[in-house]
A and B are shown apart, each in its own frame.
Chain A
């Protein structure tokens, strides 16, 4: 700490140059924050996945429904504690751009399966009692300003009603939330019984099953047993962990992680060139002063540390500013995109990773100039000055 003043003053010797370098670091980490948060949204399901929940889908494709008759057979499989199901509804509210997830479910078994979703008991009871009732997540209710008791018409894009209508009317009976800041609540759940009765086709099917593995049972063995059970049937199954399911779902949008990594890689490579050049210039200009410090008794390692610290300081200044601004942006982005892209979230892990990257980039950018300063010959440097 006693060298901080010296390091700080040295860093600001050329104010414009340092400001521009900090600006480039700021932009890099702002991008890092935004892309991390968006990347998180795309793999959000993977991060909040419960290792004890398995998902059963049709082996051919996620969009092929599974027979409702599988429910009891899955429930009877060894190692299965409980089962529920869900289906993709794919409608929109008022305008096609207002799209979000809607799922017909069995209220009791679904909420038992997802204890992280919390809702007042009286609202849940009202939901169970009302065949055309629906519940929505807090994020969604906030986005559209919905209150309990509202009528919500949803336009179907897949599921026409038996009477030919495409408008499904629901009464909002409850609003649920989640304690997990990473989990999204931008979804709507309604009664499967109403869906089953009113839809025009594919009756007796569900989109997928969700099961909880019994304590002590091996999820891999349970998955194998289920898939074996339905082998050679018209609807063969593929059972995977919730994380694997979320991952395969995300891949439908392309390899987001790779895209994010490539963009960030290019940004940080450029950043290293810019800041490395700045540090090299800075050390070149300070050679006589570094020689004086060494003359006064500052050891080689101390000089190395001072130069490296300056580089890390510049990275931290720009980086923390960028990450902080990014965090503020993400708060707004998460609200604005809650319905379209739920789960936009800058996780503590991403923040910690960002700080680690600042320090790493500071070391990389500063190490060669710092080594040059460390190896500086006092006599040659003083003679030159």
Chain B
């Protein structure tokens, strides 16, 4: 049996919206084995992104526990979570979220600023990450000088540069055409299969979900397996 990287036990997340309480996740249980590639699908507001935020230590559950790589995130303080995120998880967003004032290389270098590596080592590692995503020749380009697909590749390089075991992708192909989306998804597949990254990807796109090992359907705060890969 595969080693479990992340585990959610009895997780509920309730948001207060004015006087109303909205339960986004309801007593959810989930185990994510190391090296898995999971796609999470579901309608808007079903709790997909909330689930991703909990796994990434960006949010805390109202009830239940979230454990990733042996660390219980739900018990950590904000500063502990910040430190944990910097080394254990990489985020990939729909709109890339690169800093427009920095070149591709410097965007990729950002997570390494939180480490003790010197400037030369940081640049070396960022260059390797860019090479992995096939953008070594675009290192000195600013985001405005790159296509959407290239921007997303830079974002992926930034997510993997500190070698986290878990990659969380929130609609990573939502802003891309089919062909470019397939390129990005193939790249994620390579990262999963060849580099051993555990990937959790939220998507609306069934074709994108096909690249994952398995797909979970999220609706009304609960999860169910949709189909096996």
Contact A299 B97 (CB under 8 A): no
Question: Chain B: which residue is nearest A299 at the CB level?
Answer: B82
- Cα distance, A5 to B82, chains bound together (Å): 22
The segment out of A221-229, A239-247, A285-293 that lies at the interface is A285-293
Q: What's the least CB distance linking A290 to chain B, in Å?
A: 10
- Determine whether B110 belongs to the interface, using a CB cutoff of 8 Å to chain A: yes
Question: Chain A: which residue is nearest B95 at the CB level?
Answer: A385
Contact B101 A10 (CB under 8 A): yes
Contact B95 A293 (CB under 8 A): no
- Determine whether A157 belongs to the interface, using a CB cutoff of 8 Å to chain B: no
Contact A13 B111 (CB under 8 A): no
Question: Chain B: which residue is nearest A383 at the CB level?
Answer: B49
CB-CB contacts of A5-16 with B at 8 A, as 1s and 0s? 110011011000
Q: List 20 A-B contacts (CB under 8 A).
A: A2-B113, A2-B119, A5-B102, A6-B99, A6-B102, A6-B106, A12-B101, A292-B97, A295-B58, A296-B110, A296-B111, A296-B114, A296-B158, A297-B114, A298-B82, A300-B78, A300-B79, A379-B53, A379-B58, A382-B97
CB-CB contacts of A295-335 with B at 8 A, as 1s and 0s? 11111111000000000000000000000000000000000
Interface centre among B78, B83, B97 (most CB of A within 10 A): B97
- By size class, the interface of chain B is 20 to 34
- Cα distance, A13 to B144, chains bound together (Å): 13
Contact B53 A5 (CB under 8 A): no
Residues in B whose Cβ lies below 8 Å from that of A300: 78-79, 82
* Contact for A296 among B59, B91, B101, B106, CB less than 8 A: B91
Contact A297 B87 (CB under 8 A): yes
A-B pairs, top 3 by smallest CB distance, nearest first, are: A297-B86, A9-B101, A299-B82
Residues in B whose Cβ lies below 8 Å from that of A3: 113
- Determine whether A378 belongs to the interface, using a CB cutoff of 8 Å to chain B: yes
**Could you tell me which B residues sit within 8 Å of A by CB distance?**
53, 56, 58-59, 78-79, 82-87, 91, 93, 95, 97, 99-102, 106, 110-111, 113-114, 119, 158
Question: Chain B: which residue is nearest A296 at the CB level?
Answer: B111
- Cα distance, A288 to B79, chains bound together (Å): 19
Contact A385 B58 (CB under 8 A): no
Residues A297 and B111 in contact in the complex (CB < 8 Å), given A379-B58, A382-B93 = yes
Contact A292 B99 (CB under 8 A): yes
Contact A379 B114 (CB under 8 A): no
Residues in B whose Cβ lies below 8 Å from that of A131: none
* Contact for B101 among A13, A298, A378, A385, CB less than 8 A: A13
- Determine whether A372 belongs to the interface, using a CB cutoff of 8 Å to chain B: no
Contact B97 A294 (CB under 8 A): no
- Cα distance, A179 to B85, chains bound together (Å): 61
- Cα distance, A371 to B176, chains bound together (Å): 36
Residues A378 and B114 in contact in the complex (CB < 8 Å), given A5-B106, A296-B91 = no
Contact B85 A295 (CB under 8 A): yes
Residues A289 and B53 in contact in the complex (CB < 8 Å), given A2-B113, A9-B102, A300-B82 = no
**Could you tell me which A residues sit within 8 Å of B by CB distance?**
2-3, 5-6, 9-10, 12-13, 288-289, 292-302, 378-379, 382, 385
Contact A289 B99 (CB under 8 A): yes
Contact A299 B53 (CB under 8 A): no
Question: Chain A: which residue is nearest B102 at the CB level?
Answer: A9
Residues in B whose Cβ lies below 8 Å from that of A293: 110
Contact B58 A378 (CB under 8 A): yes
Residues A297 and B59 in contact in the complex (CB < 8 Å), given A3-B113, A13-B101, A385-B97 = no
* Contact for A379 among B59, B91, B95, B111, CB less than 8 A: B59
Besides the known contacts A6-B102, A9-B101, A295-B56, 20 further A-B residue pairs in the complex with CB atoms under 8 A apart: A2-B113, A6-B99, A12-B101, A13-B101, A289-B97, A289-B99, A294-B82, A295-B91, A296-B91, A297-B84, A297-B85, A297-B87, A299-B79, A299-B82, A300-B79, A300-B82, A378-B58, A379-B59, A382-B93, A385-B95
Q: What's the least CB distance linking A191 to chain B, in Å?
A: 70
- Cα distance, A296 to B83, chains bound together (Å): 9
Residues in A whose Cβ lies below 8 Å from that of B82: 294, 297-300
- Cα distance, A10 to B97, chains bound together (Å): 15
- Cα distance, A10 to B101, chains bound together (Å): 7
Q: What's the least CB distance linking B201 to chain A, in Å?
A: 16
Question: Chain A: which residue is nearest B86 at the CB level?
Answer: A297
Question: Chain B: which residue is nearest A1 at the CB level?
Answer: B119
Residues in B whose Cβ lies below 8 Å from that of A2: 113, 119
Residues in A whose Cβ lies below 8 Å from that of B97: 288-289, 292, 382, 385
Question: Chain B: which residue is nearest A13 at the CB level?
Answer: B101
- Cα distance, A2 to B120, chains bound together (Å): 11
- Cα distance, A292 to B58, chains bound together (Å): 11
